[in-house]
Amino acid sequence: MIITAIRISVITALFLVISGCSSGDKDNDKPDTDQPAAQIIITYPANNSVVAESVVTVRADIPVSAGVQNVKLIIDGIEIVEDRDGAPWEIEWPAYYWADGAPHTLLLKGTTESGTEIRNEQQFQVTVSTAAKNGLKFEDGLDGQIFQDISSLLVDFEDFPDATGYELVYSSNDTSETIPLDGSEGRIEGLQVGQYYLQYRALKELQGGTPLKGPLTDPIQIEILPPALPATNEPEVTSSESAYNIFLSWESIDVESTYTIFLYEPNSELPIEYSTEKSSLTISGVDQGQYEWQLMRTNAFGHESETSARAPIDAGVFKQYYGGSGDDVAKQVIPSQDGGYIVLANTKSSEISQTNDTHGEDWVFKVDEQGAILWQFVSAAPGRDRLQDIIELPNGEIIAVGNDWESQQAMALKLTSSGELAWEIVYRPEDITQRYDFRDTAIANGEIYISSAEWGDGSCSGCTQVINYYLHTIDSVSGLVSEPTAIPNISGLKINHVAELAANRNGNLMISGYAYPENNDSGQFWGGAFLQVLDTELNQTAVWDNVGIEFQANVGDVIQLSNDNYLVIGQRPEAYEPAISLIAGSGSFIRSYAGENGYEGYSNDSIAPGDSGDFYGLFELQYRSSYSGYIAVMKFNAALEIEAQVPLTDISGNSGTAGILYNADKSFTLLLTETRNYQSRNDVLLTKRVIEMPQ
pLDDT over 80 at 503, yes or no: yes
pLDDT over 70 at 261, yes or no: yes
Higher pLDDT among residues 435 and 2, named by residue: 435
Q: Is the dihedral of CA 27, 30, 34, 38 positive or negative?
A: positive
pLDDT over 90 at 683, yes or no: yes
Scanning 20-96, the segments in alpha helix (DSSP H) are none
**What is the Cβ-side half-sphere exposure of residue 360, based on CA atoms within 13 angstroms?**
21
Least confident among 15-24, 604-613, 677-686 = 15-24
Q: Which CATH class is domain 136-225?
A: mainly beta
The predicted model gives 424-440 an average pLDDT of 96
- Cis amide leading into 88 (omega within 30): yes
Banded model confidence at residue 23, pLDDT cuts 50, 70, 90: very low
pLDDT over 60 at 248, yes or no: yes
Q: What residues have CB less than 8 Å from 263, skipping those under 6 apart?
A: 271, 272, 273, 274, 283, 291, 292, 293, 313
- At 350, give phi and psi (nearest 5°): -70, -25
Helix (H) or strand (E) holding 5: helix 2-19
pLDDT over 90 at 420, yes or no: yes
The predicted model gives 38-46 an average pLDDT of 86
Which pLDDT belongs to residue 524?
60
Banded model confidence at residue 355, pLDDT cuts 50, 70, 90: confident
- Domain residue limits, the chain: 39-131, 136-225, 236-315
Q: What separation in angstroms does the CA of 566 have from each of 6, 65, 333, 341, 522?
A: 163, 133, 21, 25, 32
Banded model confidence at residue 411, pLDDT cuts 50, 70, 90: very high
The predicted model gives 120-147 an average pLDDT of 93
Write out pLDDT tens, residues 25-36: 434 444 443 444
Q: Strand 280-286: give its sheet, edge to edge.
A: 236-239, 244-249, 280-286
Burial (0-12, 13-18, 19+ Cβ within 10 Å), 566: buried
- Topology given in CATH for the domain delimited by 236-315: Immunoglobulin-like (2.60.40)
pLDDT over 90 at 464, yes or no: no
The b-or-e profile of 406-425 (16+ CB within 10 A means b, else e) is ebbbbbbbbbebebeeeebb
Residue pair 352/327 in contact by the 8 Å Cβ criterion: no
Do the first three CATH levels of 39-131 and 236-315 match, i.e. the same topology? yes
Q: How much of the chain exceeds pLDDT 90, in percent?
A: 75
Cα–Cα distance, 342 to 371 (Å, whole number): 10
Cα–Cα distance, 2 to 263 (Å, whole number): 123
* Averaged confidence pLDDT in the chain: 90
Higher pLDDT among residues 622 and 347, named by residue: 347
Cα–Cα distance, 127 to 138 (Å, whole number): 25
Which pLDDT belongs to residue 142?
96
Residue pair 368/339 in contact by the 8 Å Cβ criterion: yes
Write out pLDDT tens, residues 193-202: 999 999 999 9
Q: Provide the phi-psi class of 499: left if phi over 0, else alpha when psi is between -120 and 50, else beta.
A: alpha
Which pLDDT belongs to residue 526?
82
pLDDT over 50 at 540, yes or no: yes
Which pLDDT belongs to residue 235?
94
Write out pLDDT tens, residues 277-292: 999 999 999 999 989 9
Higher pLDDT among residues 185 and 519, named by residue: 185
Banded model confidence at residue 442, pLDDT cuts 50, 70, 90: very high
pLDDT over 50 at 8, yes or no: no
Q: What separation in angstroms does the CA of 13 have from each of 1, 2, 16, 17, 19?
A: 19, 17, 5, 6, 10
Write out pLDDT tens, residues 69-89: 999 999 999 999 999 988 899
Least confident among 40-44, 112-116, 411-415, 424-428 = 112-116
Banded model confidence at residue 251, pLDDT cuts 50, 70, 90: very high
Which pLDDT belongs to residue 508?
98
The predicted model gives 445-463 an average pLDDT of 90
Which pLDDT belongs to residue 410?
97
The predicted model gives 526-542 an average pLDDT of 95
Q: Strand 509-517: give its sheet, edge to edge.
A: 493-503, 509-517, 528-534, 540-545
Banded model confidence at residue 457, pLDDT cuts 50, 70, 90: confident
Homologous superfamily in CATH for domain 39-131: Immunoglobulins (2.60.40.10)
Write out pLDDT tens, residues 159-172: 999 999 999 999 99
